[in-house]
Structure 1
Amino acid sequence: MLQPLVSIIIPTYNRASQIGETIDSVISQSYSNWECLIIDDGSSDYTEDLLDFYCKRNSKIKFYKRDSSPKGAPHCRNIGLDKAQGQFCIFLDSDDILLDFCLEERVKKTKIGEKNDFWVFPMYVKNTYGKYQLMEIPQKESYLEDFLKCKVHWQTMCTLWDINFVRSISGFKENYLRLNDPEIHIRAMVHSIRNYTVFWDSKPDSVYRPAILKVGTNLSFKYYQSLMLFIPDLSSLLKENSLSHLRHNLKGYLNDYLRESFRFISRQNNLRLFMVFYKNRILTFYQLLLLAIQYYLLLGFDVSAKKVRRGIHKLLEL
């Protein structure tokens, strides 16, 4: 029986020191019918020379340069999605690792039961000591509700997509600076209508290496800008699919933002963000009013960020 082709799509930017290990993990797969599409986002290191070397050694590896706007991993992923020839696809970051049995076991699982739109598998997280720790996926009645609450149980590489399905939902949102991963999975779960499988009890088959991100003005502003798009987009998505009763769960993203990021954003912009949550009926007027008053009063008295977070967290539980 002919093995289906799996397309591995990897965006990269100045990761020449790490992407080699990612590519090697693809090459070492026990499953042989794959292609690997790497899309460079304008690297200034030796990425091009390294990838030319890999392409000459293995014809399954294909290297492209982003030649249109916008800059960023989501657009690079969509370029790869457009060029992919596979029946299935997996999106990797340029420091992710696939264990050598990953593709073989995932393709086997696609043959169990009815045809799905996507399949999700557990992963390991590589900690600061270089050890692999299992990131458990809990067994849930509704993964959609958890993702709406900012409880994200898996990362990009955990999902095997039916390529026609992910194309039908237009791939990744290209104007988000952050939140790309939860957004596409929320959109996929809404459009799939439970036609997907989460193998929460399977053996992990990939390794996620979390980047060390220092919360500061730049990272926080990207989060703020993304939320300003993410919240209206998801509210509209839920409304269009008769799921408006779930939008209150999106308060989880406001809670997450208020843990650290709000401290690096101007008061005016924070108030704008609060209004976005209110206008999309995620906060009631009463919650908005109390949130705004508490936010301004606490900051006016120059109390600790921890006390601000504690007070706002209690408010959002109303």
Structure 2
Amino acid sequence: MCKPLVSIIIPTYNRSGIIQRTLDSVYAQNYQNWECIVVDDGSTDNTACILETYKKEDSRFSYLNRPNSRPKGASACRNHGLYEAKGRYVIFLDSDDVLLNTCLENRIFKIQENQGNDFWVFPMFVKNRNDNKVAVEIPIIDNYLIEFLSCRILWQTMCTIWDINFIKKINGFNELYPRLNDPEVHIRAMIESKDNFLVLSNMVPDSIYMIDTNADKNILAKKYATSLDLFIPDIIKKLNENGLKNESRYLRKYLSNYLLNFHSYNSHKNNLSVLKVFRENNVISFSVYVKIITQYYLVLIFSRCLKNSTKKIERLVEL
């Protein structure tokens, strides 16, 4: 069996305490023809020392710094690694993801059984900080694009293995988004691929995604709002260019998700900016926009009257 080179690209920033577990999972692969490119986003801890140790142990590891010409962020690091990669196929890991030791051999085997696709998707486990590991099933459905447009993200970054020519063709990740990088690249990839991809729902999970329960919700909310301001017009433009204008209605689910999970951690200005981008791009109607605004300010007034209340807003409007 042909054993093509697989490039594994890992962005990192001050993760010296956990990146070793990720690197060890790469090193432990049964499939040996890989290269691992770690791209540092400007770490100030001892990440560089750790990577030097791995490089000395195995030349398949390399360590790069994000060039100053690229903006700070994981997506810029991924793209820098992509254009340094020599592999036929590419997997992007975060610096706390873990690959099971059969991951690469199983993926290459399935690729060679199903050649000619632009990318292939495999199931994952998720694990929280209490080390509880749960398999995440990917349902077998007709239209995965609609799922992602509807804010149902069925897999994470490391679940996908890309044909390197295809991921380069679509210019990798959008480097301007502080959040939503993963759904954005997969939505764009599904549109460009025109169904020439394969979701292997029936496979046993081969990677572990770590849930970060310690993330600062206030920071996340600001990043999410900023990302939506870019994401919504970008995706609508891509849909329109490909004759999929009617599919933009599904994007309202991103607004529902924001209102349910993030608006209470953000400023009024940012919340109104999010509503505005959905209205200006005709994802929601003017009447729905007015209804949300009205209820939003009623809730604000009500909350101020009850200063001792700690109840959160769970839902502003049924879209």
- For normalisation by structure 2, the TM-score amounts to 0.95
Pairing 1:309–2:300 present: no
The answer to whether the 8 A contact 1:215-1:261 is kept is: no
Larger CA deviation: 216-225 vs 248-257: 216-225
Pairing 1:155–2:156 present: yes
Distance change in 2, residues 1:227/1:55 (3 Å)? same
How do residues 211-230 of structure 1 correspond to structure 2 at under 5 angstroms?
211-230=212-231
Larger CA deviation: 79-88 vs 121-130: 121-130
Structure 2: state its 5+ residue gaps. Answer: none
Amino acid in the other structure paired with 1:76: C
Distance change in 2, residues 1:307/1:133 (3 Å)? closer
The answer to whether the 8 A contact 2:129-2:211 is kept is: no
Amino acid in the other structure paired with 2:281: N
* Aligned counterparts of 1:144 and 1:305: Cα–Cα separation in 2: 38
Shift of 1:31: 0.6
Distance change in 2, residues 1:264/1:130 (3 Å)? closer
| Match of residue 64 from structure 1 | 64
Larger CA deviation: 266-275 vs 104-113: 266-275
* Aligned counterparts of 2:277 and 2:53: Cα–Cα separation in 1: 48
Pairing 1:27–2:27 present: yes
| Match of residue 106 from structure 2 | 105
How do residues 123-202 of structure 1 correspond to structure 2 at under 5 angstroms?
123-202=124-203
Amino acid in the other structure paired with 2:169: S
| Match of residue 116 from structure 1 | 117
Shift of 1:2: 3.7
The answer to whether the 8 A contact 2:222-2:270 is kept is: no
The answer to whether the 8 A contact 1:238-1:247 is kept is: yes
Aligned-pair Cα RMSD in Å = 1.5
Shift of 1:214: 3.9
Shift of 1:305: 8.3
1:82-140: per-residue Cα shift (whole Å, max 9, x none)?
00000000000011111111000100111223410000000111133313210111111
Amino acid in the other structure paired with 2:152: K
Structure 1: state its 5+ residue gaps. Answer: none
The answer to whether the 8 A contact 2:128-2:213 is kept is: no
| Match of residue 14 from structure 1 | 14
Amino acid in the other structure paired with 2:185: I
* Aligned counterparts of 2:42 and 2:312: Cα–Cα separation in 1: 42
Identity across matched positions, percent: 48
Amino acid in the other structure paired with 1:67: P
Amino acid in the other structure paired with 2:297: Y
Amino acid in the other structure paired with 1:310: R
Shift of 1:294: 1.3
* Aligned counterparts of 1:307 and 1:266: Cα–Cα separation in 2: 15
The answer to whether the 8 A contact 1:22-1:98 is kept is: yes
* Aligned counterparts of 1:70 and 1:46: Cα–Cα separation in 2: 22
